[in-house]
Amino acid sequence: MPLAGRHVVLGVSGGIACYKSCTLARRLAEDGATVDVVLTASAAAFVRPLTFEALLGRPVLASLWEKDRALAHITLAKEPDLVIIAPATAHLVARAAMGMADDLLTALLLARTGPVLCAPAMNDDMYAHPATQQNLKVLAQRGWQFVGPEIGPLAEGPSDRPGRMSEPEAIHAAAARLLAPPGPLHGKTVVVTAGPTREHLDPVRVLTNPSSGRMGFALAQAAVARGADVILITGPTDLTPPSGVTVHRVETTVEMQRAVEAAVPQAQLLLMAAAPADYRPTVPLSTKQPRANGRITVELEATPDILGSLNRPKQCVVVGFALETGDGLERARGKLREKGLDYIILNDALEPGAGFEVTTNRVTIVPKRGEPVRLPLLPKRDVAEKILDAVEHTLS
């Protein structure tokens, strides 16, 4: 985890989005970061310091005149690995751009030489104003990084323009990305497939499978946290995509095949965690067939083998998945050879706690060279980390 053992200062300025900062602070702490919260006077009017102290078990700083903390603004500028400003109001952005130091937060920002991650939040007209845009440009030239703002409802009502602060998960993902060590995945393009595909029998009925997409989404989340540029190609699923990834939604196996073919030329790693439907009707019915019609016969044909037909770059490491029943190791090895994979991830569809529609998995990592590694039953995010550990060894 990039945030484990890191020191983060969370600066909170006075906007209604302050309530999201509480969730962000807790999320950072849950990942093992030491979090110091600095509130402006306006922020303390929205969220009391006691709230953050209860969440973090650490005192909140709100004044340049804290007793026994006369140089807090210097310490908090120099020591942390990252300073996050969320929300960053138009007023805070303007003061920081001008180099003002009239409170603890702006003073530490003026003394800061390390990375700063800024999450702007304000009325859409205020964000679009040339003064705000110029101030943001000045801060970007000084090395500040930005996440958001997003389009969405504001305190005063709906809006179709940027202004809304990014969600805590998006800010957390951006922070993890900034602090990710420059490992083998850093800056690499990773393509991940996830979820099922659907093949229509008629306009309202489909052939599909129970894949939830959780394994693919966990791989995408783990890869982006390691600093990768992630393209997630997903079939129908109710999951929320991880923050920081580029998402392409598809329905049929052919659509997934085309999306993979378009994305893979730029990729250094392809993780094929999706469960595409293996069959489709040879001739889909053009109208819904009433049940009163009784028995119908449908001829099925195989869908395209996405991996088997893929023309991939030589530098791209490819990981396939094999969901088998019983002892599937030899079948998995056969697929590994036939499809020219670097790894195949084997799991048993019938094992309790593994496979479809569960949050855990038990897999065997089968490499092209070397012995298989059987993992214990683990949460799918932990399985994703283990898979990426093995892949990074190959990439490096």
Residues annotated catalytic, as ranges: 209
Q: Taking the alpha carbons of 170, 177, 317, 216 in that order, is the dihedral positive or negative?
A: negative
Please, which residues have CB within 8 angstroms of residue 199's CB and are 6 or more apart in sequence? 206, 207, 208, 252, 253, 277, 279, 280, 281, 303
Q: What gap in Å lies between CA 193 and CA 60, rounded to an integer?
A: 43
Other CB atoms within a 10 A radius of the CB of residue 205 amount to 14
Sign of the four-CA dihedral 392, 346, 331, 253: negative
Residue carrying the six token digits 């959780």: 214
Helix (H) or strand (E) holding 378: strand 378-379
Residue 39: HSE in the Cβ half-sphere, 13 Å Cα cutoff: 25
Q: Tell me the DSSP string of 197-254.
A: --EESSSS-EE-----SHHHHHHHHHHHHTT-EEEEEE-S--PPPPTT-EEEE--SHH
Reported residue count of the chain is: 396
